[in-house]
Amino acid sequence: MKLASFRKKSPWILHYNAGGCNGCDIEILACLAPKYDIERFGMINTGNPKQSDILLVTGPVTKRSRERLVEIYDQMPEPKVVISCGACASTGGVFRGMYNCEGGIDQFIPVDVYVCGCGTRPEQIIDGVVQALGILEKKTKELEESVRLSKKPVQEGRQLNRRNIADEIKPLVS
Amino acid sequence: MYSFIAGIFILPVIVSGLLLFLPSKAAKILVIFSAVVLSAISVYLFIQVDQPFYFSVPHYINEIVAGADILLLLYFGFVAIRKKSLLVGVMTVLQLGGLLYLLKILPPAESMQFMVDKLSAAMFMLINIISGIIAIYSLRYIEEEDCSSFRKKYFMSIMFWFIAVMNMIVSSDNLEYFFLFFELTTLASFLFIGFRKDQESVGNAITALWMNQIGGLAILVAIFFIHYNGYGEATFSNLLTHGSATGILLPLAFMSIAALIKGAQMPFSKWLLGAMVAPTPVSALLHSSTMVKIAPFIILRLSPVIKDTPVATVIIALTGFVFVAAAVVSLSQDNLKRILAHSTIGLLALMIMMAAIATPVTIIASLVLILFHGISKCMLFLNAGVLERVFHLKQTSDMDKLGEVGPYTSLAVTIGFMSLLLPPFGAFVGKWLSYLTLGAFLQEQRVFGALVIVFVAIGGAVFSLLYFKVMGTLISRTGNNDHIEFEHTGKIYKTIINLLMVMIVLCMVGLPYLLTHLFSPVAADLVGSHIPIVTEGWNYYIGAMKLPMVPLLVAFFLLPVTIVAAMFVQFKKVDRAKEYMCGEKINYSFSSFYFTTDKAAPYFSTVGILFFIALIAVALI
Amino acid sequence: MNNLLIPVLLIILAPFIGGLVYGFERIVKARMQRRIGPPLLQPFYDFLKLADKRRMIVHSAHAFFGIMHFVSLWFAVGVLLMGGDLILVVFLHLLSSSLMILAGYSTRSIFSHLGANRTAMTLLAYEPVLILIAVSIYLVTGSFDVSSVYKMDQPLLYKLPLAFIALLLILPIKMKKSPFDVAEAHQEVVGGVELEFSGIFFEAVYTAKWLDYVFCYTLVYMFAGSNVLLGIGLMVFTFLYLNALDNSSARVNYRQMLRFSLGVACSLAFINLLIHSIF
């Protein structure tokens, strides 16, 4: 039995709101509550990128949250998958084209699963996560670079320094 | 043997005199040479002394001692007038009056004035080895002091003077001699504390002077009562033979008061805290090997008679209280030296308590604490000196970058604190023995024992919180540079700190050996009966107490090795990630909890005073 | 030989047993909230998954402290199960916690520092009570050894009921359960000291938590002495009590925790000690 098969048995989730209206966030919390109870699949909402496998992002990326998003993404150890949760996270949604929003997280980090809806329904989120688990099992431990990086991780001896990857991500909207 | 004892008395005096005149190069060689010789003599003496070894000095020395006493008191009177200190003046007048009265009524000393037994020899080792190390260290430290070159020589000179006086005090049997040496240590500490000559130093030196003079006065009163009760001559050995005589409690109570004042117990803790203004080697000297160690020494000496008396009860209650109070007050301190000073007061309380309970095992516990506390505190204070001189740091809250700029010093301080707290270090074994024996004490002294245990348990926990607080600020560093390079603090500094660390480790590994060959004979000598230390498989039995050695040995690999290894260990093929700060990139400043427990200090002092009154009251009743 | 076999087996299997208890606890907790909850072996799935993650640390010393925390805790559990000296066990446990606190302090991470500060506070809260319990046990059995408890004809519980209650009161602090979970507080300080560990290095901290279960339940079992049935009963009761408390209470801050533990739990243990020593 390979270790990789256990990935889908204990996916730990990190939830990040990149500037949305909190609609999707409430639906995510509903997943944890007794009615949907995603803990029965072994999922935990950790709140800590260093111990998470799935990054669940909601909301369009505002200028302020841009660097934080990439920083958090880089602090997650591979293999990891990103789920863009809701219309805003996927495309920018109703905020698309606004002066303070970048619109869509896939312009900064690679997204594996897009979940539609404004706000997403818990069933949809669970569906998306289940789909993500299939992807997670196939992924490797190789470093995935986030899109539009200004810095690369630095190889120092046999250690890879990924401390300063997210420095100065260039904005899309000027 | 006589010549060796004479050597250990006289050599430091000669060195002290020579240091005033010699040029610095020669002084350096002399200090190192004499430190080594003194240590060697003390070890030799410890091996040689089996029976208590009495010897007397020629008769004219008696007159010299009396004359020196009076001269010393006149000097104190001179200080009182020059510094316009009423308290010192009053104490001096009282002491002078008492001394002259005693000289008039006491018959001339007939018996032996000096006695060297196992306890004295053990104290010789502590005093000479640790003080020797401190003396070598201060060669470097005092070079950077901002004062004239004569005062630098003068500093080294008092240091050896102090060693000489300490050697004499632990071997004097006659209480008149004891009084002189007691006052001489007071004088040495007065000169040391006032060394920097600024207003704060002088003020604190005066405080130390009058507080310790109370101790001297208490000794005079004790001598008076010994004479008044008709016990014969005022000597320790004579006092020990009058264990059940009527009125024995009064001299005991006053001797204990002298001890408790030297040991800076609660209302009199101010002088030790004030001693922080002196150059750091002085603090190291006062806290580890000399001065305060007189306190447990006196109680240990008197332990056979003091045992199970009301005086012992009050001492145990007082020290139990001081243990907690010192811990609680120390939480609010930020200055590293003050934190160390409070922990000294607390641990001294524990030592005195163990000595006052005076069962064979508690005496061993007390001795273990005295020795290991000496080494650990010496290292911590010398590190505080390095921090001051090399890194210009005094407050612990400023030390948060030390893990990066001075990893070696931060490691040394961490090990020092660990050695006061956790298994398998010696100071821990002392504490552990204390808990074990307090259990036995509880079976004899029901309610009282329970109270003492609560105090010790809570005090111990508060101290551990304090140490973690300090260690926490010392060891933090970023992950930017994972490869640690030890800093260069200076040749002497580094050699000394290394030596002390090796000593801590050796004492830890050699604990079974030390128990059977050092602590047990000394305790047996004090208790008067042999204390069986039996090895049964991997367990040591001290009396009825079981010490399992396997856990301690494993703990040795767990803790000290871990802390050192953590500095060197390098995980390969591992990514270095940034600390999680919610994705933010702001530089935060870190600090641990702040406490405002120092507000309680005045109340603690008041309670301490009540205990002292109680001490005299139980003796009078 | 035979009476050595069971403790040795227990020690070797301690992480496994702790993991099972933890898995079962997650189910019970979920059922109390009317959820289904994860499978019983969920902790082990987590364990195997974490082993497969890309390795990532803040710096080596931090990761090393985490691993040594696990090792030293296992050792403390070992000494406890072998029936060693209780005071020594308490101090060895303190040692293992101290390594975790040092790990927390060793990084420049704000949540780690907060967690380490709070963990040090919890030490202050429960250590005196444990020592008092150890001394009470000494009074009853005449020895600090845990093994002496099992040789008594009467369970310890009958002689030290208040000490047992004190133990029950500090167990939530020790196991970081609500209302005394300030040290870990997932919503507040994101797990505190364990925050910066990831992947295989987090595994050490994660399994150390399982060992803590074994440690705590052994302490509870100790109060039953040689009575196995009573011991199991006590453990089940404690298990249900802890989970019910965890589910039904809100977090208190560390001052309240300290006041409660030193005020109530410590005095309970003290009163028991006093009563026992007088009569």
> What is the 3-state composition of chain C as percent helix, strand, coil, each rounded to the nearest 5?
75, 0, 20
Q: Do B575 and A161 touch (CB under 8 A)?
A: yes
When pLDDT is cut at 50, 70 and 90, the band that residue A173 belongs to is: low
Is residue B354 within 8 Å of residue B369, measured between CB atoms? Answer: yes
Q: How many secondary structure helices (H) and strands (E) does chain A include?
A: 4, 7
Q: Mind telling me how many Å the CA of A10 is from chain C's nearest CA?
A: 5
Q: Do A164 and B578 touch (CB under 8 A)?
A: yes
Q: Is B58 left (phi over 0), alpha (psi -120 to 50) or beta?
A: beta
* Structure tokens that stand for B31 in this block: 């200090």
When pLDDT is cut at 50, 70 and 90, the band that residue B228 belongs to is: confident
Crossing angle of helices B560-568/C60-81, nearest 10°? 160
Residue B509 has pLDDT above 90, yes or no: no
**Residue percentage of chain A with pLDDT more than 90:** 5
What's the pLDDT score for residue A158? 73
Write out pLDDT tens, residues A106-142: 888 889 999 988 888 889 988 898 899 888 888 887 7
What does chain C come to in residues?
279
Q: Is B535 left (phi over 0), alpha (psi -120 to 50) or beta?
A: beta
Between CA C256 and CA B226 the distance in angstroms is 54
Q: Which amino acid is at B452?
A: V
Residue B618 has pLDDT above 90, yes or no: no
Between CA A43 and CA B308 the distance in angstroms is 64
Give residues 463 to 492 of B whose Cβ lies within 8 Å of C: 464-465, 468-469, 471-473, 475-479, 482
When pLDDT is cut at 50, 70 and 90, the band that residue C1 belongs to is: very low
Residues of A in contact with B482 (CB under 8 A): 159
- Residue A168 maps to a domain: no
When pLDDT is cut at 50, 70 and 90, the band that residue A172 belongs to is: low
- Residue A72 maps to a domain: yes
Tell me whether B584 touches chain C (CB under 8 Å): no
Which chain B residue has its CA at the smallest distance from C114's CA?
A: B592
Beta-ladder partners of C69: none
DSSP C56-85: EES-HHHHHHHHHHHHHHHHHHHHHHTT-B
Dihedral angle of Cα B321, B322, B324, B327, to the nearest 10 degrees: 170
Q: How far is CA B386 from CA B32, B142, B286, B454, B546, in A?
A: 20, 12, 17, 37, 40
Q: Mind telling me how many Å the CA of B296 is from chain C's nearest CA?
A: 25
Between CA B424 and CA C143 the distance in angstroms is 21
Between CA C184 and CA C176 the distance in angstroms is 7
CATH of the domain at A57: 3.40.50.12280
- Residue A115 maps to a domain: yes
Identify the chains in contact with A, defined as 3+ C-beta pairs within 8 A: B, C
Is residue A129 within 8 Å of residue A43, measured between CB atoms? Answer: yes
Between CA A12 and CA B484 the distance in angstroms is 34
| CA proximity to C265, closest of C120, C131, C80 | C131
| CA proximity to B109, closest of B27, B262, B232, B291 | B232
Tally of structural domains, chain A: 1
Identify the chains in contact with C, defined as 3+ C-beta pairs within 8 A: A, B
Q: Do B575 and A69 touch (CB under 8 A)?
A: no
* Structure tokens that stand for C205 in this block: 């901290």
| CA proximity to A80, closest of A50, A43, A104, A58 | A50
Residues of B in contact with C170 (CB under 8 A): none
Between CA C180 and CA C253 the distance in angstroms is 8
Give residues 369 to 428 of B whose Cβ lies within 8 Å of C: 403, 414, 418, 421-423, 428
Is residue B282 within 8 Å of residue B240, measured between CB atoms? Answer: no
**Host domain of residue A49:** 3-161
Is residue B316 within 8 Å of residue B304, measured between CB atoms? Answer: no
What's the pLDDT score for residue C238? 92
What's the pLDDT score for residue C189? 76
- Residue A172 maps to a domain: no
Which chain C residue has its CA at the smallest distance from B446's CA?
A: C277
Residues of A in contact with B584 (CB under 8 A): 68
Is residue A20 within 8 Å of residue A88, measured between CB atoms? Answer: yes
**Residue percentage of chain B with pLDDT more than 70:** 98
Per the model's pLDDT, the better-predicted residue between B466 and B111 turns out to be B466
Tally of structural domains, chain C: 1
Q: Do C273 and B450 touch (CB under 8 A)?
A: yes
Q: Which amino acid is at B23?
A: P
- The angle subtended at Cα C33 by Cα C29 and Cα C39, nearest 5°, is 50
- Residue A173 maps to a domain: no
When pLDDT is cut at 50, 70 and 90, the band that residue A38 belongs to is: confident
Nearest to C91 among B403, B422, B446 (CB): B422
Tell me whether A72 touches chain B (CB under 8 Å): yes
DSSP B314-338: HHHHHHHHHHHHHHHHHTT--BHHH
| CA proximity to C85, closest of B144, B106, B215, B549 | B549
Tell me the average pLDDT of chain B: 84
When pLDDT is cut at 50, 70 and 90, the band that residue A171 belongs to is: low
Between CA C141 and CA B42 the distance in angstroms is 44
- Residue A174 maps to a domain: no
- Residue A166 maps to a domain: no
Tell me whether A48 touches chain C (CB under 8 Å): yes
Tell me whether B438 touches chain C (CB under 8 Å): yes
Which of B269-273, B433-437, C129-133 has the least mean pLDDT? Answer: B433-437
Residue B380 has pLDDT above 60, yes or no: yes
Tell me the average pLDDT of chain C: 87
Residue B113 has pLDDT above 80, yes or no: no
Mutation test of the interface with chain C: which of B328, B396, B476, choosing the one with the most C Cβ atoms within 10 A?
A: B476
Between CA C150 and CA C225 the distance in angstroms is 4
What's the pLDDT score for residue C23? 92
The DSSP letter of residue B287 is: I
Per the model's pLDDT, the better-predicted residue between B41 and C275 turns out to be B41
Tell me whether B572 touches chain A (CB under 8 Å): yes
The reported pTM is 0.89
- The angle subtended at Cα B576 by Cα B570 and Cα B580, nearest 5°, is 125
Per the model's pLDDT, the better-predicted residue between C133 and C3 turns out to be C133
Between CA A51 and CA A53 the distance in angstroms is 7
Q: Mind telling me how many Å the CA of C265 is from chain A's nearest CA?
A: 32
Residues of B in contact with C94 (CB under 8 A): 422, 464
Give residues 132 to 151 of A whose Cβ lies within 8 Å of C: 141, 143
Give residues 47 to 66 of A whose Cβ lies within 8 Å of B: 48-50, 65
Write out pLDDT tens, residues C13-62: 889 999 999 999 999 988 888 888 888 988 999 888 888 888 888 888 88
CB within 8 A of C16, min separation 6: which ones? none
- Residue A170 maps to a domain: no
When pLDDT is cut at 50, 70 and 90, the band that residue B109 belongs to is: low
Q: Three-class SS of residue B545?
A: strand
The DSSP letter of residue A145 is: P
Q: Do A6 and C49 touch (CB under 8 A)?
A: yes
Nearest to B583 among A68, A156, A161 (CB): A68
When pLDDT is cut at 50, 70 and 90, the band that residue C112 belongs to is: confident
DSSP B166-220: HHHHHHB-BHHHHHHHHHHHHHHHHHHHGGG-SHHHHHHHHHHHHHHHHHHHHHH
Mean pLDDT calculated for residue range B535-559: 75
Q: Do A78 and C54 touch (CB under 8 A)?
A: yes
Tell me whether C124 touches chain B (CB under 8 Å): yes
Nearest to B580 among C120, C196, C274 (CB): C196
Q: Three-class SS of residue B280?
A: helix
- The angle subtended at Cα A14 by Cα A8 and Cα A16, nearest 5°, is 140
Q: Do B583 and A159 touch (CB under 8 A)?
A: no
Between CA B363 and CA B519 the distance in angstroms is 9
Residues of B in contact with A167 (CB under 8 A): 585
Residue A13 backbone phi and psi in degrees, to 5: -105, 135
Burial class (CB in 10 A: 0-12, 13-18, 19+), A119: buried
Q: Do A39 and C37 touch (CB under 8 A)?
A: yes
Tell me whether A167 touches chain B (CB under 8 Å): yes
What ipTM was predicted for this assembly? 0.87
Tell me whether A71 touches chain B (CB under 8 Å): yes
**Host domain of residue C189:** 2-278
Is residue A98 within 8 Å of residue A129, measured between CB atoms? Answer: no
Tell me whether A40 touches chain C (CB under 8 Å): yes
CB within 8 A of A64, min separation 6: which ones? A19
Nearest to C68 among B450, B453, B562 (CB): B562
Q: Do B479 and C106 touch (CB under 8 A)?
A: no
Between CA C227 and CA B409 the distance in angstroms is 53
Burial class (CB in 10 A: 0-12, 13-18, 19+), A36: middle
Residue B447 has pLDDT above 70, yes or no: yes
Between CA A96 and CA A93 the distance in angstroms is 5
Between CA A166 and CA B577 the distance in angstroms is 11
